[in-house]
Amino acid sequence: MGDDLQRIAYCLSACSTFVTEMATHLIYTNDGTITEEVWDPASGETIKQDEVGDGVKDGAPAAYVWYSNGQGAEDFDDDFDEGIGGEERMVFSITPENKIIAFKYDYEEEDVWIDYTAGNVGTISVHPQSGLSAAINPDGLYLFFMNPSGGLQAAVRPGGEDWTLTNVFPAEAKIGTPLTTSVSSEGVSLFYFGVDDTLHHLYRGHKSGSWEVGAAVPTISECAI
């Protein structure tokens, strides 16, 4: 239980996490810089710490996505878009101008984080209090955010480098709500707090093509964000 509580504490202290069998990857933002800390839950020690990039606003959220060597593709049969790539790690955050900023791990050159400037992701504007979350599904890479008007939306990269925006989701989200996603072999869920301070979620089946409002979770609420 102690090790589990330590892992939870570390994850809660970060603005984004990615957990593998071997280590926990923690993303922190501080003084305009994003840092990745690789933490070993077995020993409780930091394995390494790398600077991801800079140019983010103070207190900015981050979203970490890692698609690794077909990980998860077998769950989607032939529907998985091979254009996503064999292995990719990306971190997204927000600039002082409330634009999306992205970084990509460069496996081909020197195994370092580099600025991701391809495509049009850097032109996307978000709400000053937007949260971020990212997920891989058969359609490609999804980046969820709150738009400047306070609606929940996503940018989608189905393959290659171009991003397209979804329609605004049918959700009444609380301004500043954190966002988190869950992906299964059937579909993807986006969780958020609504204007009633209750946890809600949106769901899209991999084959349905549309987002639907899921039932609220009445036992989970938040007093303040």
- Does residue 17 carry a pLDDT above 60? yes
- Does residue 225 carry a pLDDT above 80? no
Specify which residues 101 forms β-bridges with. 93
The model's confidence at residue 74, banded by pLDDT at 50, 70 and 90, is very low
The DSSP secondary-structure symbol of 3 reads H
- Does residue 76 carry a pLDDT above 90? no
pLDDT for position 139? 76
* Domain segments of the chain as ranges: 2-175
pLDDT for position 195? 93
User: In this predicted model, what pLDDT tens digit does every residue of 85-121 receive, in sequence order?
Assistant: 457 889 999 999 999 999 998 877 777 899 988 788 8
pLDDT for position 168? 93
Tell me the torsion sign for CA atoms 59, 13, 151, 118.
positive
The CA distance from 39 to 178, in Å, is 24
- Does residue 75 carry a pLDDT above 70? no
pLDDT for position 11? 53
Output the average pLDDT for the chain. 79
Q: Residue type at 7?
A: R
Strand order in the sheet with 164-165: 132-137, 140-146, 152-157, 164-165
pLDDT for position 148? 98
- Does residue 19 carry a pLDDT above 70? no
> What are the E-state strand segments in 61-216?
63-68, 87-94, 100-106, 112-115, 132-137, 140-146, 152-157, 164-165, 180-183, 187-193, 198-205, 212-213
- Does residue 218 carry a pLDDT above 70? no
Tell me the torsion sign for CA atoms 192, 52, 24, 143.
positive
pLDDT for position 78? 42
**2-175 belongs to CATH 2.120.10.70:** yes
pLDDT for position 205? 84
pTM: 0.81
pLDDT for position 123? 92
Question: Residues for the chain: how many in total?
Answer: 225
- Does residue 1 carry a pLDDT above 60? no
- Does residue 73 carry a pLDDT above 60? no
Q: What are phi and psi of 100, to 5 degrees?
A: -70, 140
pLDDT for position 120? 87
- Of residues 45, 21, 24, 44, the one with CA closest to residue 36: 24
- Does residue 33 carry a pLDDT above 60? yes
